[in-house]
C-alpha cells in the first residue's frame, strides 16, 4: 500500500453475507434477510473489487449474516447475537444453545485468522526495523441511508481512532483520494459511527498497538439501490 514504508495491507468485509446456517434459517423471516439488518448491502461487491485491484497480502469476508453472529462486535457485546437467537432461547433453549455455540466457534475462527496474520507480520516489521511500516487494515462496510426516520448525511464515512496519529494520517489520505476521484462525494470522518466504538479494529488496536492501523470504510447503501 505504501512502498516507501513497506506497509502491509489487509482487507476484510465482516457483514458480506445474508446467509444463515440451516439450523437457524427458520428463526429469521425471509424478508428480514433482504434488509440492512441482515448484512451490509453492497459492501461485498466493493470489497471484492478492491481485493482484485489492490491485491492485499490478506483478505477475508464473512460467510454468514450478522443475525447469526456479528463478526464486528466482541463476543461479549449484547449486540453480537440477534433478537432472533434470544427469542429462540425462550422457546427451545437446547437448540438455541447449540446454535450459539456454533456461532461462537465461527466468530472465533474468523477473528483468529486475522489476528494470526497481523501478529506474524507485525513481528516481521519490527525485526526489519522499518519505523514507518504498519499493518493497514481496511474494513469495508455500508450503512442504510435512513435509520429510524433520520436521513444519514454522508456518502462515505471513514472511521478511525482520533487518538492515533497514524490512523488520522491514513484517513486524511483516503478522504483526499476519494475527493480527487469523486469531487461531489460527501465524505465524513467517524460518521455515521465512531471509529473508537466496539469493533474488530478496536480489538486489534488494543492487542497490537501503534503498528496496527485500523480504518473502516462505510458506504451509503443508496448507491446500491435500484
Beta bridge partners of 136: 9, 213
Report in angstroms the alpha-carbon separations of 166 from 7, 19, 31. Answer: 12, 36, 42
pLDDT at 90: 95
pLDDT at 225: 86
The whole-number mean pLDDT for each consecutive block of 10 residues of the chain, a chain of 226 residues, reads 69 98 96 97 98 97 98 97 96 97 98 97 78 91 96 98 96 97 97 97 96 97 90
pLDDT at 128: 67
Instruction: State the Cα–Cα distance between residues 76 and 93, nearest whole angstrom.
Output: 19
For β-strands 135-143 and 8-13, DSSP reports them as parallel
Domains of the chain: 8-224 (3.40.630.40)
pLDDT at 123: 82
pLDDT at 126: 73
What is the 8-class DSSP label of residue 192? S
Q: Which residues are CB-contacts of 186 (< 8 A; sequence separation ≥ 6)?
A: 153, 154, 155, 156
pLDDT at 113: 98
How far, rounded to the nearest angstrom, does the alpha carbon of residue 216 sit from its chain's CA centroid?
A: 6
Instruction: State the Cα–Cα distance between residues 97 and 73, nearest whole angstrom.
Output: 19
Report in angstroms the alpha-carbon separations of 143 from 26, 39, 154, 215, 222. Answer: 26, 10, 10, 15, 9
In angstroms, what is the C-alpha Rg of the chain? 18
Report in angstroms the alpha-carbon separations of 171 from 18, 127, 142. Answer: 29, 27, 17
Identify the H or E element spanning 205: helix 200-208
Amino acid at each position: 500500500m505504501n512502498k516507501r514504508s513497506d506497509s502491509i495491507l489487509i482487507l476484510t468485509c465482516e457483514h458480506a453475507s445474508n446467509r444463515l446456517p440451516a439450523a437457524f434459517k427458520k428463526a429469521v423471516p425471509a424478508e428480514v434477510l433482504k434488509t440492512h439488518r441482515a448484512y451490509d448491502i453492497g459492501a461485498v461487491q466493493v470489497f471484492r473489487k478492491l481485493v482484485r485491484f489492490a491485491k492485499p497480502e490478506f483478505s477475508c469476508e464473512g460467510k454468514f449474516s450478522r443475525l447469526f453472529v456479528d463478526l464486528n462486535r466482541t463476543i461479549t457485546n449484547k449486540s453480537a447475537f440477534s433478537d432472533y437467537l434470544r427469542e429462540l432461547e425462550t422457546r427451545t433453549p437446547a437448540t438455541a444453545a447449540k446454535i450459539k455455540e456454533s456461532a461462537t466457534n465461527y466468530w472465533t475462527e474468523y477473528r483468529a485468522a486475522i489476528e494470526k496474520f497481523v501478529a506474524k507480520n507485525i513481528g516481521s516489521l519490527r525485526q526489519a526495523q522499518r519505523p514507518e511500516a504498519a499493518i493497514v487494515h481496511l474494513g469495508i462496510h455500508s450503512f442504510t441511508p435512513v435509520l429510524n426516520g433520520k436521513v444519514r448525511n454522508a456518502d462515505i464515512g471513514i472511521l478511525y481512532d482520533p487518538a492515533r496519529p497514524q490512523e488520522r494520517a491514513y484517513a486524511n489520505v483516503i478522504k483526499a483520494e476519494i475527493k480527487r476521484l469523486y469531487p461531489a462525494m460527501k465524505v465524513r470522518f467517524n460518521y455515521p459511527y465512531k471509529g473508537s466504538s466496539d469493533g474488530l479494529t478496536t480489538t486489534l488496536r488494543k492487542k497490537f498497538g501503534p503498528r496496527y492501523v485500523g480504518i473502516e470504510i462505510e458506504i451509503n447503501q443508496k448507491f446500491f439501490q435500484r
